[in-house]
Amino acid sequence: MPNGTLNLASTPEAALRERLGPRLIGLIALPMNRFDGVYVARVQLPRVFKVADFRQAFGGFAPGDISSALFHAEGYSVTQQWAEAVREAGLEGIIARSRFSSGSALYLFGTSGENREFGSIGGEETALSVARAIPFFPEIVSVEEEEFEFE
């Protein structure tokens, strides 16, 4: 993605699933320590941002194409090229289907590091409490990670 990118999601569940990503696929249990120091925050955007909407079909692409495994197989290089082209077209970000939930993901382009131009945090919740509220989420267990084999 260009310079710095703020990754947001439409729901707390979508945010957490985007954060944990493919590590959740096929798991029946997840060590509790995976949530240490992880929070889901509500960001209050200060204005409307002009973004490319990849949730809709256009130009031979189906909704979800940009967030599919096809675009991530090369270590995000294709996604980064798309993001750069969108930024060069004068847009401020991308909205797309979430890769791991039914929600949407919003990627706002800016400078790297802490950036207040995107708004302020209007509250936060621990990722563990968000996970416990998600139906069909892998069981959260209080054991050491070494007892599990992760790929």
Quick: pLDDT tens for 61-71. Answer: 665 556 555 45
Residue 126 pLDDT > 80, yes or no? yes
For residues 117 and 115, the model is more confident at 117
Mean pLDDT over residues 24-28, rounded?
73
What does the block give as tokens for 56? 């809709």
Mean pLDDT over residues 128-135, rounded?
88
DSSP 69: G
Q: Phi and psi (nearest 5°) for 150?
A: -105, 145
Check residue 72 and give its pLDDT: 53
The pLDDT > 90 percentage for the chain reads: 13
- Grade residue 1 by pLDDT with cuts at 50, 70 and 90: very low
- Grade residue 151 by pLDDT with cuts at 50, 70 and 90: very low
